[in-house]
Amino acid sequence: MNAQTERFTIDGPVGAIEIAIDRPAGAPDSLRGITLVAHPHPLFGGTLDNKVAQTLARAFVQLGYAVVRPNFRGVGKSAGEHDKGIGERDDLLAVIAWMRRQPGWETLPLALAGFSFGTFVLSHVAKTLEDAGTPAQRLVFVGTAASNWDVATVPADTLVIHGEKDDTVPLQSVLDWARPQTLPVVVIPGGEHFFHGLLPLLKQIVVDAWRH
């Protein structure tokens, strides 16, 4: 993504997990936190290089966070096969455990940011962390996969962003998921699932919301 990006594998529950790490200039001394970014459905071409996932990473790098973008099972150099979100949840928990072992990262605030299928997986990661008494600082969900998957209830300060014209995950399904939680949804007019032509706006919404 930029000169501050590294890419390698770490050990996971079923073998290697490929990750990319994006670091802001001046890291590690000036880090404000760490972020895990989860990509869209692997069986439909989702990878850590997805443009929306990279946009989320750029937003958090601008905010002073180090960002880890893993590849789900069977994608790139990640071992295993697609596990309908269950194994993927376990893999992301393993990635978070690895992040917490990195020098200087042990006590930094942890943000979770996902796109599409990644929101489903992260909703259950967040619930596991909360149940363990180690909740994430905040969540950012883009293109929340509410029409296709059992996305768990999320904290009230979760930033949910959706495209008005998303025909992969209809906006109405996201509103139906958010309504019982009284959870606001930021709607980008004219936006479709991958926010073509609107990624700079998506990035700015995340940055502005985080700063306020």
CA distance 79 to 73: 6
Mean pLDDT of the chain: 95
Contact 157, 138 (CB under 8 A): yes
Q: Is the pLDDT of residue 11 over 60?
A: yes
Q: Is the pLDDT of residue 209 over 50?
A: yes
Rounded to the nearest angstrom, the gap between the alpha carbon of residue 45 and the centroid of all alpha carbons in its chain is 16
Residue 141: which H helix or E strand, with range? strand 138-142
Give the total residue count for the chain: 212
How confident is the model at residue 158, as a pLDDT?
98
Which of 60, 58, 40 shows the shortest CA–CA distance to 50? 40
- Per residue in 111-158, pLDDT (tens digit) is 999 999 999 999 999 999 999 999 999 999 999 999 989 999 999 999
Q: What residue ranges define each of the domains in the chain, with the CATH number in brackets?
A: 6-210 (3.40.50.1820)
Which of 144, 148, 212 shows the shortest CA–CA distance to 181? 144
How confident is the model at residue 134, as a pLDDT?
96
As given in the structure block, the two tokens for residue 82 are 């697609």
How confident is the model at residue 27, as a pLDDT?
59
Percent of the chain residues topping a pLDDT of 90: 92
Q: Is the pLDDT of residue 77 over 70?
A: yes
Question: What confidence tier does 99 reach under pLDDT thresholds 50, 70, 90?
Answer: very high
β-sheet bridge partners, residue 5: 22
